[in-house]
Amino acid sequence: MSNDIENIVSEKFKSNIDQDELTEFVEELIITPDEKIDSTMRKLKRQYQMNPSKQEIHKIFREKFSSRKISPKMRKYMIKKQVRSNSGVLVVTIVLAPNKFSCKYDCAYCPQETDLEGNPTQPRSYLSNEPAMLRALESNFDVKGQFNSRIGAYKATGNISETSSKIGSISETSSKIEVIFSGGTWESYPLEYREQVIRELYWAANSVEVERESKTLEEEITINETSTYRIIGFTLETRPDNIRPETIQQYRRWGVTRIQIGVQHYDDAILKKVNRKCYTKHTIEAIRLLKQAGFKVVVHLMPDLPGSSPEQDKWMFEQAITNPDLQFDDIKIYPTAVVQTFDDKHIVKSKILDLYNSGEFKPYSEKNIQDLIDVCLYYKTNMNPWVRIQRLVRDIPTQDIAAGYNGISNLRQVIHTQMKKKGLKCNCIRCNEIGDLEHDNHKPILAVRRYTASQGTEYHISIEAHTMDTYQKLIYYLILAWNFIRLFVSQKHSYWNGDLASYIGLYGFLRMRFDPAPGGKEDEIFIPELQGCALIREVHVYGTSMGVGVEGSGSQHKGHGKWLMATAEQIALDAGYKKVAVIAGVGTREYYKNKCGYHLEGTYMVKYI
């Protein structure tokens, strides 16, 4: 069933649903046991000759039955686009203002949209008719307006309850929000503006229900620790050459936990050709500094840039897989698109458009789209299981694209279709994350994968679903037995490192780093509270987003988070660490304090073990 098929009403059903009948319909669903709910839904549709949308069912529930507790199985019939909350959090993207200072650089591939008088109408690299930009325009780029609009949309689709009661296993008393600031280059904006929009963000999150004047940034951050809408993750976008100890200190003061850096390619000749003025040495140093402070790192890579080829792009992805100095956590793959003016109210310019119009550049995907697909297939089928592909093609309307990937906006779907036909599998986090009820019959299994990255040691600790044949089970239990013997003899724990052949799903994971100089080297310590710490950089449990501290049956509240934390602490203890630090989002501080025994030092949650 497609995401929006619930909005389509068959001709044989009523187009104007009787509200009294719909109330009876919903009430019968509420009292139906989980094992019969699918058949009851089909029976009720025939009985009442109606096919209500998820929003209609959710609206009746809010109005008539908000005090009733319902099961997770019933919940799926009330949430449109449930995939948004199945990843564990609800994402709110805030677009920054389109002023001339949005980016001081001039990369060849990056478009600038203006009105007919030359005034910027979007921050650099974005277009007015992209979905996120349309929402920003509705609010005139006001931070509070954008935040409230997104929260309102989540309420309308059932991803957030409009009552303080539980809907399934969600309580509105603590909705978990991941915020992303997009537009231009963060450091190109004046510091005063940056401070302003961050204060407005926390104010917006803290005052959704009650309108009030804003307080200081520090006061709003403290309030958000126990707010209804807690910011549990905060992402900024910038360039690798902007990552310095002083900018990292700013990020932490603002509660930032994840940084996206525009890398684009690892071939410096290609970067020079597109006037990037930021090279692989900057990327290596940026990743090292960010991980030294416990940040999560997202990179953007662009296959099919001017001067590149399928072979060079495969090499780029090979570096992403194997080079220990280039290990990131998440990736956005943006195949090069040459964008153009799309209406008579705007002008879109870029150097790459000039190169294309003059015949100096033609994307290789325009000659043979399969070349680009093969490059992406190479990465997806060989990538490391601790990486998440956030995007595989930018969300640009087809009419805006003059050239690039043949304008195929559903490129990810095309690639997945080819993978399925060829029997290929992607091990990335996104392709394996567990939904609300998936794989409930599979026993969660702990796996610990260790790898070298940016002069340190990383541990990817995950709780997974596996489907094993007899031989695989035998090997698994023999390894467990051997690990038990080693524990008895050496008093140190050993762990199974997983089996990608039997791996079918991910319940949750934790990223921990042993850095040779956490918080900075002796002569340049920039975060002193991290000295001597093992660094927990991310904890993420999948399943429908639930309120912080709310009990429920989804994987978010089966103790998986505590299991991951306990495992990480044990590994750190066995390695000789006495102290663990978590780069916790502001909205998760109470969880680490009350559930895991951590306390706040500086901007990190810390525990002595």
Strands 330-333 and 296-301: parallel
What single letter denotes the amino acid at residue 413? Q
Which stretch of 276-285, 437-446, 535-544 has the lowest confidence by average pLDDT? 437-446
Q: 300, 260 in Cβ contact below 8 A?
A: yes
> Is 243 within 8 Å of 259 (Cβ atoms)?
yes
CB 177 within 8 A of CB 230: yes
On whether the CB atoms of residues 74 and 177 are closer than 8 A, the answer is no
**Residue whose tokens read 């005063």:** 192
- For 257-279, letters b (16+ CB in 10 Å) and e give bbbbbbbbbbbeebbebbebebb
258 three-state secondary structure: strand
Determine whether 423 is exposed, middle or buried from the number of CB atoms within 10 Å of its CB (0-12, 13-18, 19+): exposed
Residues in the chain: 609
Q: What is the pLDDT of residue 546?
A: 45
Which structural domains are found in the chain, ordered by start?
5-75 (no CATH), 85-430 (3.20.20), 445-608 (3.40.630)
Q: Residues 6 or more apart from 28 whose CB is under 8 A from it?
A: 40, 44
CA–CA distance, 293 with 248 (Å, rounded to integer): 8
Checking if the pLDDT of 54 tops 90, the result is no
- pTM, two decimal places: 0.86
Continuous segment of H or E residues that includes residue 151? helix 143-156
pLDDT for residue 88: 57
Q: What pLDDT score was predicted for residue 79?
A: 65
* pLDDT value for 551: 45
CA distance 1 to 83: 13
Over residues 562-567, mean pLDDT:
97
pLDDT tens profile 443-489: 999 999 999 999 999 999 999 999 999 999 999 999 999 999 989 89
Q: Which of 312, 228, 208 is nearest to 264 (CA)?
A: 312
Instruction: Give the model's confidence band at 550: pLDDT under 50 very low, under 70 low, under 90 confident, else very high.
Output: very low
The backbone torsions φ and ψ at residue 432, rounded to the nearest 5 degrees and listed phi first, read -125, -5
Q: Residue 96 carries which DSSP code?
A: P
Average pLDDT over residues 577-596: 96
Residue 462: CB atoms within 10 Å? 26
Position 63 pLDDT exceeds 80: no
Chain Cα centroid distance, residue 50: 37
Instruction: List the alpha helices (DSSP H) in 177-254.
Output: 191-206, 217-224, 245-253
Looking at residue 440, what is its pLDDT?
Answer: 60
pLDDT value for 350: 94
d(CA 330, CA 333): 10
DSSP state of 65: -
d(CA 17, CA 57): 11
d(CA 229, CA 426): 34
pLDDT band at 74 (very low <50, low <70, confident <90, very high): confident
Question: To the nearest 10°, the Cα dihedral for 61, 66, 72, 77?
Answer: 10
State the pLDDT at residue 7.
Answer: 40
**Average pLDDT for the chain:** 88
Burial label for 335, CB within 10 Å (0-12, 13-18, 19+), is buried
Cβ pair 463, 507 in contact under 8 A: yes
Query: What percentage of the chain reaches a pLDDT higher than 70?
Result: 89
pLDDT(204) > 50: yes
